[in-house]
Amino acid sequence: MRHSTTWTETGDVTMKVSVIIITYNGAQRFPAVLAALASQAGTREFEIILVDNNSTDETKSIAQGVGISNFRYVFEATPGISHARDAGVRAARGEIVGFVDDDNIPNETWVREVEVFFEEHPKAGLVGSRVINAIPAELRSKIGFGNSLLGESDFGEAALQLKGDSYQSINGAGLAARKQLWIEVAQHLVLRGRTGKGLTGGEDREMMYRVLQAGHQVWYNPRMLIDHRIEQRRWSSDYLEKLALASGTAQPFLRRLKRKLGNRNSGAAFYMCADFIRFLKASVNISNRFEKRLWRQYYLGCLLGNFESYLNSSQ
């Protein structure tokens, strides 16, 4: 099922960058993000848009009290990060749109780095930030694969062009794109992203693949740095196992998209066997019990996704 988005734009392009903060019940979180954006250095005029994705806390009342001239509040009633992002893009007046979640603290030159990178790379359509999870060191080593599941994206200190031929992918935290390209690509998205407390995965990788297939470049820019301040509840085994399962379930679709396989059951039997073998290897070869459970859930999700694809193609 495709993402059904009606693109009625309300924002004319009048500036270089619009930064869109996505929040759901983030009244205690988004003010720190807003403060970091309000103190950006070395940038030209830009705007900050807070998209309230149907929050039930004090988000609206706090936003209404913000005294920043380049700040706007947008309410999006339809739950889901994809709907919230699209609402922000529709309202944006910038040529470039940048996305931060309500727990993403951008470094003091983040907006300027977005501007400069797109100016220096005219073929770039999508640029990801260097995202570092702010979690204790002992937990970082314990959860292993969980760092990636929680959104960490750290491929080193040099800019890197991503061609979709490796595990490396941009992350929605600190993502920036050309507004017009986002509008053109977003209407074709299948993976919808999280909805409230519901967990899904793969939507950012789908965006990357579709941008690449449209002939644009995708880059990782470490000078766009995000401090990802994760709530402690998301460090739990229960949360991470659910996230691993959701991420794995999306992989069969992403594999088909990556290989431009048009038939829904292309390669399903092969990947079911391959993922079952990987599931067994993870069960035997990984000594870290916490990380073992995450990998098992991930490959279980892959198996479930493949099986669903096979059943759907047989109907």
Give the tens place of pLDDT for each residue, 134-160: 998 889 989 999 999 999 999 999 999
End residue of a domain, out of 232, 258, 283: 232
Residues 112-128 have pLDDT tens digits of 999 999 999 999 999 99
Which letter does DSSP use for residue 198 in this model? B
Q: Which of 228, 313, 241 is nearest to 282 (CA)?
A: 241
End residue of a domain, out of 180, 200, 232: 232
How many C-beta atoms lie closer than 10 Å to residue 23's C-beta? 22
Decide: helix, strand or coil at residue 2: coil
Sole residue written with tokens 């309410």: 75
Please answer whether residues 5 and 186 qualify as being in contact, where contact means their C-beta atoms are separated by less than 8 angstroms.
yes
User: What domain count does the chain have?
Assistant: 2
Both 227 and 258 in one domain: the answer is no
Both 274 and 131 in one domain: the answer is no
Stretch 281-309: mean pLDDT: 91
228 pLDDT higher than 60: yes
Read off φ and ψ for residue 217, nearest 5 degrees: -90, 150
E strands along the chain, which residues?
15-23, 46-52, 71-75, 94-101, 104-106, 124-133, 160-162, 175-178, 217-228
Please answer whether residues 50 and 30 qualify as being in contact, where contact means their C-beta atoms are separated by less than 8 angstroms.
yes
Q: Which two tokens stand for residue 134?
A: 């702010």
Both 114 and 206 in one domain: the answer is yes
Q: Does residue 1 lie within any of the structural domains? A: no
Please state, in angstroms and as integers, the Cα–Cα distance from residue 125 to each residue in 161, 286, 309, following that order: 11, 38, 30
Beta bridge partners of 175: 99
130 pLDDT higher than 50: yes
Q: Which two tokens stand for residue 187?
A: 């209407």
The gap from C-alpha 227 to its chain's centroid, in whole angstroms, comes to 15
From its phi and psi, is residue 119 left (phi > 0), alpha (psi between -120 and 50) or beta? alpha
Both 143 and 255 in one domain: the answer is no
Q: Residue 164 has what pLDDT?
A: 86
End residue of a domain, out of 201, 232, 263: 232
Burial of 154 (0-12, 13-18, 19+ CB in 10 A): middle
Q: Does residue 132 lie within any of the structural domains? A: yes
Q: Does residue 114 lie within any of the structural domains? A: yes
191 pLDDT higher than 60: yes
Which residue range is the domain that position 295 belongs to?
238-314
7 pLDDT higher than 60: no
Both 168 and 259 in one domain: the answer is no
Both 30 and 176 in one domain: the answer is yes
Q: Which two tokens stand for residue 89?
A: 């893009």
- Higher confidence at residue 40 or residue 165? 40
Both 68 and 163 in one domain: the answer is yes
How far, in Å, CA of 307 to CA of 120, rounded? 44
